[in-house]
Structure 1
């Protein structure tokens, strides 16, 4: 059994009096211990697909198995609990709270689970050190560069030890050097067999960090590539 399995997944949204189909019969497997990139033009369904495989959206049809559990059979409350325990999210917009320090922001998932701010911040400081932010734990977001804020967001995504990290355009707002630094961290995370990373991206500067590239177009999965082959194809 694969770590993440999608079988014949489709998704439609209401539009006026009808329906718009965004995903068409998508089937694939994703493995832990790898960094998988999902690429394709804007509007092709990438964000919808990762929202479904992480339990934020429900599929209109198909089956989703994640870490040995059927998301298809979970109700909304169980999906929330499953995400909180097993999935970390990193977005293009860092979504840091401006009045909290880097350590407090990174510790938010633990505080949401009932841990005290002191204990959550202590664990967050360990993660911030691991992503090269040990000198910035007490700074506010406005005192950090974009690359530093994204590293705080990575620490926040890791602080509750999830098995799957889902990233939506994590380098889009960063310069080349900062983007490479962020991807180096994600690459290191994905090299551990107990954790996987999925990255949605338009950023061809980072394709070489992938173990595998899944290509989408018009709501369909049209290719499954090794990075070198895809880079040369581009």
Structure 2
């Protein structure tokens, strides 16, 4: 490992509730190391998606400190936060979020287009990434012409196309069958995990635990356990 991509200390998050607030994260401490895939697991409603949304700069924390590549993301202006997300973070969503009127290559090129690159140059880069994911023959197809596993690979390509150092994935295998989910995780690990980059995956699927370098388990807005080695990950899978 080459240091930390993400460091969170004492992170708390409150949401409005009736006349007051409800605290959904309670003093989270977490380091995400360069070169690793960290899985974030736990029951529904325990705060996993809230936590990755804060780490990725989508939500702001109520308390605590968050640094991504040394950048204090808590104190960014809205425009700086948007620029940070465009340049630093790749997102992979459970439901793919592909635009139905765009081809696979055009969908994968969106982060580059948003960043200001010309469409032809952006789609060339997207086709190259899709090729690396075994999707070269499907680059000009529309989402409705693709299987669930193929759409997930387009979503992976979209997250990788601008070469971000931090990738967050929210339930990337939830809409896939076992074989497609395993293949999506294999592709994600093969293409995304590398020195200088960190990947955080929120999942309920114990079948993919074996892809993790570490697993952090959450309950009631707290991290209660971190499996640091293969043996600990196997024990967590068995339970």
Q: What is the TM-score normalised by the length of structure 1?
A: 0.97
The equivalent position to 2:50 in structure 1, one of 48, 51, 57, is 48
Partner Cα distance (1:74, 1:112) in 2: 20
State the match for 1:140 in structure 2. 142
Once the two structures are TM-superposed, the CA of residue 232 in structure 1 deviates from its matched residue by 2.1
The equivalent position to 2:234 in structure 1, one of 197, 217, 231, is 231
Q: Which is further off, 141-150 or 68-77?
A: 68-77
Partner Cα distance (2:211, 2:25) in 1: 26
Gaps of 5+ in 2: none
Distance 1:223 1:190, change over 3 A: farther
Partner Cα distance (2:223, 2:235) in 1: 19
- Where 1:109 maps in the other structure, the secondary structure is helix
Distance 1:5 1:31, change over 3 A: same
Once the two structures are TM-superposed, the CA of residue 209 in structure 1 deviates from its matched residue by 0.3
Partner Cα distance (2:230, 2:26) in 1: 24
State the match for 2:222 in structure 1. 220
State the match for 1:59 in structure 2. 61
Partner Cα distance (1:191, 1:60) in 2: 30
Preserved CA contact (<8 Å) 1:189 1:197? no
State the match for 2:96 in structure 1. 94
Deviation string 1:195-215 (CA, Å, 9 cap, x unpaired) is 111000000110000000001
Is 1:17 the counterpart of 2:49? The answer is no
CA RMSD of aligned residues (A): 1.1
- Where 2:4 maps in the other structure, the secondary structure is coil
- Where 1:42 maps in the other structure, the secondary structure is coil
Is 1:105 the counterpart of 2:107? The answer is yes
Partner Cα distance (2:230, 2:101) in 1: 40
Gaps of 5+ in 1: none
Distance 1:189 1:161, change over 3 A: same
Partner Cα distance (2:134, 2:196) in 1: 22
Partner Cα distance (2:41, 2:161) in 1: 27
Q: What is the TM-score normalised by the length of structure 2?
A: 0.95
Partner Cα distance (2:203, 2:150) in 1: 19
Once the two structures are TM-superposed, the CA of residue 227 in structure 1 deviates from its matched residue by 4.6
- Where 2:200 maps in the other structure, the secondary structure is strand
Aligned length: 234
The equivalent position to 1:76 in structure 2, one of 75, 78, 81, is 78
State the match for 1:156 in structure 2. 158
Once the two structures are TM-superposed, the CA of residue 190 in structure 1 deviates from its matched residue by 4.4
State the match for 1:181 in structure 2. 183
Once the two structures are TM-superposed, the CA of residue 44 in structure 1 deviates from its matched residue by 0.2
Q: Which is further off, 52-61 or 179-188?
A: 179-188
Once the two structures are TM-superposed, the CA of residue 189 in structure 1 deviates from its matched residue by 3.3
